[in-house]
């Protein structure tokens, strides 16, 4: 049976962070209830098209899924179990920000079947959290982490972010070492560098030379680390985590044995997944599409549109930008997503999937990167070297096929 991942988008937050460009916003309990009514209808209506799949992962992302009443999440989990063929050992993740889930809520999530929690720490220093516009403190993270363990979570990820405003190399190492000092250290750590995204308050501050006043929020601008410092943070992350039994399996992700994120690996390895909720993306049977990002349109389509006698699926009204991936696009994605993985891409899988040898398509690129010590072949795998990973964007871009 073909496997499937499910992503469920919860777009609500208590406050939007200064660096965040995700689809998220503040809404009251009434609007949240309407959203979950629409979300459950989408999930139920989409079940028949997923009947041939076994669901191996479910991921509640956002936004902040734990910012809503936990019974909303509990209801969705009940529906997923009723309508979908959920694998016995399915990985089911919920993203959580400290301060948004108390012990009772965490018990509800765990009892509902959620078995993995991803806690957004970002920094172990309160002054850095303030600069990011985060609403929690380090003490709140410690309480959340302790309660998650107490509630029965045995698979915890902690998110950390480097290259923050005003952050030194010593500051970054302090955050890493703090996480490693936790009682029963996390099974997984995601360690990302801050990216200044257009349309965010940080872009107004750092992307262009503008005032530090953004709306009603005023922050003290601190300089970003220089490139040399950022690069050193990157190397120290590998050394520190590698020395504490974490293996790096993707550019920014580290896990102890047996705890790689099943859901995210689907994205990088080209597996099918379906996204539910506002703005969620899907890739099913070679067709990629996105749900509408218009909150009102999403609610109206699913809650107000009447079903016809022919059984018209109202979910078709929220799906946009559907695109059949041609062979060229599929090969490109296989390469530049797969090369995010430290193990690289399988040469035999390429042949099985596309019916052509990888050298037929990419011989020149492979030779160029190999000659520059940016890529290497090991058995059936083609992967970036340590030097190649350092400039991964450059290497991956080489696998975009020029139109003839």
Residue 275 belongs to a domain: no
The pLDDT of residue 1 is 76
CATH of residue 169's domain is 3.20.20.70
Q: What is the 3-state secondary structure (H, E, C) of the chain?
A: CEEEEEEEEECECCCCCCCCCCCCECCCHHHHHHHHHHHHHHHHHHCHHHCCEEEEEEEEEECCHHHCCHHHHHHHHHHHHHHCCEEEEEEEEEEECCCCCCHHHHHHHHHCCCCEEEEEEECCCHHHHHHHCCCCCHHHHHHHHHHHHHCCCCCEEEEEEECCCCCCHHHHHHHHHHHHCCCCCCCEEEEEECCCCCCCHHHHHHHCCCCCEECCEECCCCCCCCHHHHHHHHHHHHHHHHCCCCEEEECCEEECCCCCCHHHHHHHHCCCEEEECCCCEEEECCEEEEECCCHHHHHHHHHCCCCCCCCCCHHHHCEEEEEECCHHHHHHHHHHHHCCECCCEEHHHHHHHHCCCHHHHHHHHHHHHHHCCCEEEECCEEEECHHHHHCHHHHHHCCCCCCC
Among 222, 249, 269, the domain boundary falls at 269
Residue 338 belongs to a domain: yes
245 lies in the same domain as 362 = no
369 lies in the same domain as 265 = no
Residue 314 belongs to a domain: no
pTM over 0.85: yes
Confidence of residue 218 (pLDDT cuts 50, 70, 90): very low
Residue 276 belongs to a domain: no
* 5 to 180, 202, 288, 290, 308: CA distances (angstroms): 30, 32, 14, 15, 30
Hunting for tokens 């190999």 — which residue is that? 370
Residues 282-298 have a mean pLDDT of 96
Residue 225 belongs to a domain: yes
Confidence of residue 311 (pLDDT cuts 50, 70, 90): very low
218 lies in the same domain as 131 = yes
119 lies in the same domain as 235 = yes
CATH of residue 375's domain is 1.10.10.920
149 lies in the same domain as 18 = yes
Residue 318 belongs to a domain: no
229 lies in the same domain as 335 = no
16 lies in the same domain as 162 = yes
246 lies in the same domain as 350 = no
324 or 207: which leads in pLDDT: 324
Residue 228 belongs to a domain: yes
The pLDDT of residue 313 is 63
238 lies in the same domain as 153 = yes
Among 269, 288, 306, the domain boundary falls at 269
Residue 305 belongs to a domain: no
260 lies in the same domain as 335 = no
134 lies in the same domain as 247 = yes
Average confidence score pLDDT of the chain: 93
Give the tens place of pLDDT for each residue, 73-106: 999 999 999 999 999 999 999 999 999 999 999 9
Among 242, 269, 296, the domain boundary falls at 269
346 lies in the same domain as 262 = no
* Domain housing 54: 2-269
Give the tens place of pLDDT for each residue, 131-144: 999 999 999 999 99
What is the total count of domains within the chain? 2
């Amino acid at each position: 049976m073909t496997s499937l991942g499910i992503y469920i988008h919860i777009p609500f937050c208590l406050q939007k962070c200064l660096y965040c460009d995700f689809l998220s916003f503040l809404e009251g309990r009434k609007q949240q209830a309407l959203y979950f009514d629409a979300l459950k209808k989408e999930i139920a209506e989409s079940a028949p098209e997923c009947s041939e799949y076994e669901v191996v992962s479910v991921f509640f992302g956002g936004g902040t899924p734990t910012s809503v009443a936990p019974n909303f999440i509990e209801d969705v989990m009940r529906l997923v179990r009723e309508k979908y063929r959920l694998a016995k050992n399915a990985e089911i993740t919920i993203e959580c920000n400290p301060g948004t889930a108390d012990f009772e809520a965490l018990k509800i999530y765990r009892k509902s079947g959620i078995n993995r929690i991803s806690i957004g720490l970002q920094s172990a220093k309160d002054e850095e959290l303030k600069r990011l516009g985060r609403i929690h403190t380090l003490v709140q993270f410690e309480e959340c982490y302790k309660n998650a363990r107490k509630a029965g979570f045995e698979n915890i990820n902690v998110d950390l972010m480097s290259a923050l405003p005003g952050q030194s190399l010593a500051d970054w190492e302090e955050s890493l070492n703090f996480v490693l000092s936790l009682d029963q250290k996390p099974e997984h750590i995601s360690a990302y560098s801050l990216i200044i995204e257009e349309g965010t308050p940080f872009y107004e501050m750092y992307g262009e030379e503008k005032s530090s006043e953004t709306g009603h929020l005023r922050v003290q601008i601190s300089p970003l680390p220089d490139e040399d410092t950022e690069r050193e943070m990157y190397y120290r992350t590998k050394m520190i985590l590698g020395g504490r039994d974490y293996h790096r399996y993707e550019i920014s992700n580290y896990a102890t044995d047996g705890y790689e994120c099943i859901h995210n690996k689907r994205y990088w390895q080209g597996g099918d997944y379906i996204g539910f909720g506002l703005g969620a993306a899907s890739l099913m049977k070679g067709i990629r599409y996105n749900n509408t990002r218009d909150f009102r349109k999403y609610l109206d389509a699913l809650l107000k549109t009447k079903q016809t006698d022919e059984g018209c699926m109202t979910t078709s009204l929220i799906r946009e930008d559907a695109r059949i991936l041609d062979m060229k696009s599929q090969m490109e994605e296989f390469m530049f997503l797969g090369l995010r993985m430290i193990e690289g891409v399988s040469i035999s899988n390429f042949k099985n999937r596309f019916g052509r040898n990888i050298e037929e398509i990419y011989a020149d690129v492979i030779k160029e990167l190999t000659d520059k010590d940016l890529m290497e072949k090991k058995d059936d795998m083609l992967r970036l070297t340590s030097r190649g990973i350092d400039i991964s964007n450059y290497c991956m871009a080489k696998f975009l096929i020029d139109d003839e």
